[in-house]
Amino acid sequence: MALNVVDLASISQVCKSWNKASRDPTLWRKLDLTGLSSSSFKIPMVPKAWKDMQSSIKITQFMKYVLSLSNGNTSCLIFNYYIYLTDVHLISAAERTPNLKRLVLPCSGHLSKLGLHTAMSSWGGLESITITSVIHPKSKGFEYPKQIGEHESFVSCIGKLASFGG
């Protein structure tokens, strides 16, 4: 039986020995945030979920906590498809995942040119990024392939998923 990220965060708070066990690097190689749709977080399965300020703060705090448990050992980060991703979320994750090799972005959010550049600069070993519609290529002259292309020396696979609906 595998524990999801919510379970790992919960058991880390039981006692000192469980906290120590929850920091095992092998538990954090892949940080799959799709489990945030669990009853603990009640993320609705709709685009732009958690767009309000209170929800954004909650997800930022949770990400900072679980990424502190990972101690920089996360090499794959998969965001919940329905989280509304902002520069704060992405940069916060980038600061805590220096060894990231694979990134999967959610379907909605607002990332600026500076936010994306700051995060990408932190990931010198990034090999793969899956982009959904979180980056809007025609907004204010911002082109995500160009922004990511600045870091093309280490990104070998860029995937673009189609967005259906709103």
pTM for this prediction: 0.78
Give first-to-last CA distance, the chain, whole Å.
36
Model confidence pLDDT, tens digit, residues 92-151 = 999 999 999 999 988 888 888 888 889 988 998 888 888 766 555 444 544 555 555 555
Taking a C-beta distance cutoff of 8 angstroms, is the pair 84, 56 a contact?
A: yes
Cα dist from 80 to 41, 108, 124, whole Å: 12, 10, 23
Lookup: tokens for 119: 């995060």
Separation in Å, CA 11 to CA 17, 75, 78: 10, 22, 21
121: which strand partners? none
Compute how many other C-beta atoms are within 10 angstroms of the C-beta atom of residue 57.
12
What was the pLDDT predicted at 40? 61
As given in the structure block, the two tokens for residue 27 are 């538990």
Tokens of 60: 């930022």
Compute CA 75 distance to the chain's CA centroid, rounded to the nearest angstrom: 11
pLDDT of residue 8: 86
- Exposed/middle/buried for residue 110 (C-beta within 10 Å: 0-12, 13-18, 19+): middle
Predicted confidence (pLDDT) per residue in 35-94, tens digit: 775 456 666 677 776 777 877 888 889 989 999 999 999 999 998 888 888 999 999 999
Please report the pLDDT score of residue 9 as a whole number: 87
Q: What is the pLDDT of residue 134?
A: 53
pLDDT digits (tens, 9 = 90+) for 9-26: 888 899 999 999 989 999
The answer to whether the beta carbons of residues 81 and 132 sit under 8 Å apart is yes
Residue among 54, 114, 65 nearest 90 (CA): 114
Sign of CA dihedral 134, 69, 52, 46: positive
Please say if the pLDDT value at position 165 is more than 90: no
